[in-house]
Amino acid sequence: MGRKKVILIEDDHAICETITLVLESAGYEVTCFTTGALVTDAIMPIPDLFILDKNISGTNGMDLSRFIKSGNQYSRAPVLLITASPDIEQLAEACGADGFVRKPFTLKELRATVTRLLDKCGD
């Protein structure tokens, strides 16, 4: 079995680069996009996990999570929502996300949350 595939949708280049480095060093295959258009157009392979920033250009991470969970081809993939919003727990629940991480987060916290979601929703 290959490495778990993570799709990260984040429009801040520095955050995208940091998350990618951290998760790749933990053995995950990470692909970062700055917009959710490839997801809504259904033209990307199904990942093992989506990580969505709440505020991304072109769409809202919450709307994208709702789209992913709405029964289309991606609905079985867990969604991790990241945002600085103080009410992230309620936001994540409202959009069907499987987990959340509040910015600023530690890299250890991010890795642990990703591992927990993949183990919980995994094969």
**pTM for this prediction:** 0.93
| Residue 119 included in any domain | no
pLDDT at residue 99 tops 60: yes
pLDDT at residue 123 tops 60: no
Q: Each residue of 65-75: pLDDT tens digit?
A: 999 999 778 88
DSSP letters for 14-50: HHHHHHHHHHHHTT-EEEEESSSHHHHTT-S---SEE
- Tell me the average pLDDT of the chain: 90
Count of structural domains, the chain: 1
pLDDT at residue 111 tops 70: yes
Q: Which domain holds residue 74?
A: 5-105
| Residue 114 included in any domain | no
pLDDT at residue 59 tops 60: yes
Mean per-residue pLDDT, 18-26 = 95
CATH of the domain at 11: 3.40.50.2300
